Amino acid sequence: MHYQKYRLIVPFLLPAVALYGLFVLWPYAQAIYLSFTGWRGLSANKPWVGLDNYQRLLEDDRFREALSRNGQLLIVLPLITIAIAMTFAALFTQGGQSIPGASFYRIIFFFPQVISAVIVGILWGYVYNPNIGLLNGVLDAVGLDGLQQGWLSDPDLVLWSIVAVAIWSSVGFYMVIFIAAMQSIPTSFYEAAVLDGATRWTSFKDITFPLISETIRTTGVYLGIFALDFFVLVQVISAGGTTATARRAEVAALYLYNEAFDKSRWGYASTIGVALLILTLILALVFMRLARRETYEF
C-alpha cells in the first residue's frame, strides 16, 4: 500500500524538486564554490584561494560597518513596522468593530505594495530633494521651515530616511496579515470582555495580542530577513552608495553588489553572500525556536 502511494506521489514531486534544485540549490552551490576562489568575473579562470576570502572578510572594517547597520535595522525595522501595522489592524477590525472609513484606509495603506520597490525609491528620492522635494515643501508651507533638512545629504539622517521609506512601504502588507489573524478570533471573546468592563486597549492586550502571537513571530522572520537584505531601496535612493555621505547608508548586500559589479571581485562578493546566507539561516532558526514555545488555541 505504501509503495503504491509513493509511486503516485513521486512523479508529481520530481518536476518541482528538479526546478528547485536547478534554480535555487545549484546557484547556492555555485556561490559557495566561488567564495573559495579569486574569480574576477571576466574570464573562465577561477583561481582557488581557499579560506583567504573568509580571512579577509573577518578583517574587513567596511563589511563590519555595513553589517552593523543591518544589525540596527534588525531591531528597529521589525519593532516599528509590527507596532504600526498592529495598531492599524486593531483599529480597522478588532472584535468586529472598526473606525469609520476603515475599508478606504485599508486600500490606502496597502497601496504601496502594488508599486515596484524601485519606483518607490525613485519617488521618495524626489520627496527628499532639499530644493524641490515635497517633504521640505510641506514643512515650509506649514511654517516648520526650521525642520527642513538635506535628508539624503546628511550622514546622520540618510540611513534613517531610507528606513522610513521601508516602513511606509511595508506597513500595509503586514497590516493585512494582522487583520486576517484578528478576524479569525471569535467576536464572542470581545463581547464577554466588554461585559466585564474591558476597554478596547485591555481587549487588545489580553485577547488580541496573545492570540496572534504566532503571526507576530512569523512577520518577525519576514522583517528580519528584509533587514538583513535591505538592498533595493538603499541602492536606488542612495544612488548605489557611491558618495561619502551615501556610504553611511551602505548595508552588507549593497557592499556585496559594489564589490561584484564595481570592483569585479566576484569571489569576495560570493563570500559576503555566503556570510549573509549563514546569518539569515541562524535568524530563521532562532525565530523557529521561539515559535515552538507556548501557543494559544481557540
pLDDT tens figures, 273-285:
999 999 988 888 8
> For position 295, what pLDDT does the model report?
55
pTM: 0.84
Distances (CA, A) of 258 to 70, 83, 293: 16, 33, 41
What span, in angstroms and rounded, lies between the C-alpha atoms of 241 and 88? 34
Do 22 and 142 belong to one domain? no
Do 5 and 93 belong to one domain? no
Do 139 and 276 belong to one domain? yes
Do 284 and 238 belong to one domain? yes
Domain count of the fold of the chain:
2
148 pLDDT band, cuts 50/70/90, is confident
Cα 145 to the center of its chain, rounded Å: 32
Do 126 and 27 belong to one domain? no
> In this model, does residue 298 exceed pLDDT 70?
no
Structure-block grid coordinates of residue 33: 564554490
Q: pLDDT tens digit string along 248-267? A: 888 999 999 999 988 889 99
Neighbours of 127 (CB within 10 A): 18
Lowest mean pLDDT among 49-53, 169-173, 247-251: 247-251
What span, in angstroms and rounded, lies between the C-alpha atoms of 246 and 240? 8
Do 112 and 252 belong to one domain? yes
Do 141 and 279 belong to one domain? yes
Do 204 and 131 belong to one domain? yes
Lowest mean pLDDT among 59-63, 84-88, 89-93: 89-93
> In this model, does residue 1 exceed pLDDT 60?
no
Q: Which domain holds residue 185?
A: 60-291
66 pLDDT band, cuts 50/70/90, is very high
Residue 37 — φ and ψ, nearest 5°?
A: -125, 170
